[in-house]
Chain A
Amino acid sequence: MLRLVYQGQTSVPVEVEGFVPQTIRAMSLAEIERFEVFHGNKKRPLADFFAVSGSAADERIEFEGQLAGVHWIGAGMSSGSIHVSGDAGRHLGSEMSGGEIHVAGTAGDWVGGEMKGGLIHVRGRAGHLIGSAYRGSRHGMTGGTILIGGEVGNEIGHTMRRGLLVVGGGCGDFVGLNMIAGTILVFGECGIRPAPGMRRGTIGLFGSPAPKLLPTFRAGSCDKPLVLQLLFRELRRLDFHFDDALVNANYRMYHGDMVTLGRGELLVPEGVVSG
């Protein structure tokens, strides 16, 4: 296990893009200390900001300290695991294709931006655009699983194409904007205008009050979808906690967004009052 204790005293962003298990596993401790990271526009050795100990041979990295100003942690990661004991900055696990990232605290915006595979689990809240496409890109996350324990901001799952995105708290506006496919589950209150431009995919909005839907969604059947039972079982396996009452609830399905392909599904527990 490689242990990095953050000692940075700076408000200027520190960017550790490329510092991932598959890249450093064969490096000696001295080489790791010399690994170049960006401090604003300056390249600096990793040891300027972190006290480094242990070995990276087992592809396990542990970050300690408050890393809210450290960005791109685990970006491009394909294997191994990263554990952050405190907060993490922006672009956590951006474009990762495998491995696991666990954050005990909170995370910034763009968690799992354009992620392709693997697992990100943030115990606290996170920012905007989780699992989303970067501006101008054609696709958001195309695989993998993102679990956020707390609340998140706007535009999560923007143009998402595949994968699972789960939020334990509430979410902001425009969840699942232009969603192509994949699954989003939100257990808290949802902001306005869910799923505009959604083409396919499934969004479960389980919080109360239920969001007001756009007029281009059509009410469908009411039942206990098997897919939710399977998803709830998977969430329990991943140690993600939620209200057990949801397992046996009935869900109203809405189809949309009819201004686009209209094959998306919105699932809202029956009996939840519209906001």
Chain B
Amino acid sequence: MSIATKKNTAPDPSLKIVQDATCTFCGCVCDDIDLSVKDDHIVEAKRACVLGKSWFFNHHTDTRPNCLISGQPATIADGVERAAQILAGAKYPIIYGLSDTTCEAQRVAVGIGDWIGGNVDTTTSVCHGPSGMAFQGVGEVTCSLGEIANRGDLIIFWGSNPAESHPRHFTKYSLMPKGMFLPNGRKDRTCVLVDVRKTKSAKAADIFLQIKPRKDFEALWVLRALAQGLELDAASIEDETGVPLSAWQDLMDRMKRAKFGVILFGMGLTMTRGKHLNSEAVLALVRDMNAYTRFVAKPMRGHGNVTGADNVVSWQTGYPFGVNLSRGYPRFNPGEYTTADTLARGEADAAMIIASDPMANFSQAARTRLAAIPYIALDPKETPTTRAATVAFTTATYGINTPGTVYRMDDVPIPLRPAFDSPHPSDFEVLSQLERRVKQLKAAVRIG
């Protein structure tokens, strides 16, 4: 080795190394990332995927003030006071977002929802909310990603494109790992992709079944019928699903032969016509398959801590999202208490949006209502939602600036190891102050 090379490999004293940092970009929540930090900037992220690298390298501390009231800089104390007055005085407030913050902050937010008698909803309601509803209707036969890595010999991705949405899922959990009962890794597994288009994930699959758009439910019903040995008309099945009956029969034979089958389903299934009933069909199929072999289903969750939001809201209210607390006890009714609906119907009279941007992706009716009512926004970045907020808090980014807990898509809690400090407070700090002030205001009303 040359002297010049030795010089290049010598550790840079200005570099801070954070080992086993956690990436919160997607639901995989990879916790084996080694970060190199220089001058409050992440310059290297070992083992991170392309999405993770983008998440870490493009993080810049926002130079906006910590708090804006009606667009004007203000102190955090003033912002908390104004926010507390808005929420405590509202008749039908909503708390929404929560998927991109820590469980500790989520817990406080749900507590505020309880104090103000509001509706607590998360971004689950616009992504895998249908799966949450299906769990209530059918139940869930499930497992951890570790079990999939060690046992899963038939992996079916349905309406999901992990090659682009969860790039390390294949290598860490579902296809490549050499597991306890799968010593040859990928060679011991069969991968099936069911989707309406040939995505990049198709290259990784052994079998690709391209079904007609919006025919997921019918296709799943065909599999349920085959699982029970029902005779079906080949011509009508191919006409309806776009896939020959023989291909469905082949898949069913493989499913019955599998030692540990897995269906990993994404929003390609849950957000097409039928929504929660598509999810119910998957869960019912998996339940049926357990008459033959071990079979499980898992939703491919998107946001970094959306699973944590489901867990925290369930832990505190008994339901995962779309919860109304106006009576002093929780009521669950997606479609009635979910944010997109309470806003679009013009019912909500105040809101708190945490780490989410409904102004960018809700319906026009919902955005119009949100713009018309006083609301509070907490976000590390400037977004259409923070720009129109009555009170906007600029907060630190979870995972990069703040510690805490997040949940992986299989409901496993993972600790965060922040890379460097932020000049902005964390969501947890702002929400804790807000909860204290809301409690005081509510107590004053009761005494008065």
Contacts and interface: CB of A to CB of B under 8 A. Distances in A.
- State whether these chains interact: yes
Interface stretch (A36-44, A56-64, A116-124, A243-251): A36-44
B143 interface: no
Contact of A173 (B91, B118, B225, B274): B274
Contact of B222 (A39, A128, A215): A215
Nearest to A191: B273
Interface string A187-219: 000001100110000000000000010111000
Interface string B312-350: 000000000000011100001111100000000111010
Contact of A109 (B92, B222, B288, B336): B336
Given A11-B346, A40-B349, A134-B333, A214 B230 contact: no
Given A41-B91, A174-B277, A216-B230, A136 B117 contact: no
Interface string A28-59: 00000000001111100000000000000000
A136 B334 CA distance: 11
Interface string B113-129: 00011100000000000
Interface stretch (B45-53, B233-241, B354-362): B233-241
- Greatest chain A CB density within 10 A among B93, B336, B347 is at B336
A13 B345 CA distance: 10
Contacts of A128: 335
B9 interface: no
A40 B92 contact: yes
A38 B326 contact: yes
A12 B347 contact: yes
Contacts of A69: 347
- Greatest chain A CB density within 10 A among B228, B277, B288 is at B277
B222 to A, nearest CB: 6
B183 interface: no
B94 to A, nearest CB: 11
A1 interface: no
A135 B332 contact: yes
A254 to B, nearest CB: 14
B137 interface: yes
A135 B91 contact: no
Contact of B233 (A11, A155, A174, A215): A215
B217 A41 contact: no
B137 A135 contact: yes
Contacts of A255: none
Contacts of B93: 41
Contacts of B233: 215
Contacts of A193: 217-218, 274, 277
B136 A41 contact: no
Nearest to A39: B91
B224 interface: yes
A110 B224 CA distance: 29
B420 interface: no
Interface in B125-155: 133, 136-137
Interface residues of A, number: 31
B237 A41 contact: no
A4 B222 CA distance: 53
Contact of A259 (B116, B230, B237): B230
Contact of B91 (A42, A177, A197): A42
Contacts of A16: none
A212 B239 CA distance: 12
Contacts of A13: 92, 347
A177 B349 contact: no
A174 B345 CA distance: 24
B277 A196 contact: yes
A11 B335 contact: no
Contacts of A11: 345-347, 349
A161 interface: no
Contacts of B273: 173, 192
A233 B137 CA distance: 36
Contact of B228 (A42, A134, A259): A259
Interface in B209-230: 217-218, 221-222, 224-225, 228, 230
Contact of A215 (B232, B284, B335, B336): B232
A174 B335 CA distance: 16
A192 B333 CA distance: 24
A139 interface: no
B334 A41 contact: no
B444 to A, nearest CB: 16
A40 B277 CA distance: 30
Interface in A127-159: 128, 134-136, 155
A134 B274 CA distance: 17
Interface string B272-314: 0110010001001000100000000000000000000000000
B291 to A, nearest CB: 13
A41 B230 contact: no
A192 B221 CA distance: 14
Given A12-B91, A12-B92, A90-B336, A216 B221 contact: yes
A211 B29 CA distance: 44
A258 interface: yes
Nearest to A158: B137
Nearest to B225: A216
Interface string A83-110: 0000000100000000000000000011
Contact of B133 (A135, A174, A212): A135
A103 B221 CA distance: 38
Nearest to A212: B240
12 contacts: A40-B92, A41-B116, A41-B326, A110-B336, A135-B332, A193-B217, A196-B281, A197-B284, A215-B222, A215-B232, A259-B228, A259-B288
Across chains A and B, which 8 residue pairs bring their CB atoms closest together, nearest first?
A41-B117, A40-B91, A40-B92, A41-B326, A136-B136, A12-B92, A259-B224, A11-B346
Given A12-B349, A215-B218, A215-B232, 7 more contacts: A11-B346, A11-B347, A41-B326, A174-B274, A177-B277, A178-B137, A258-B230
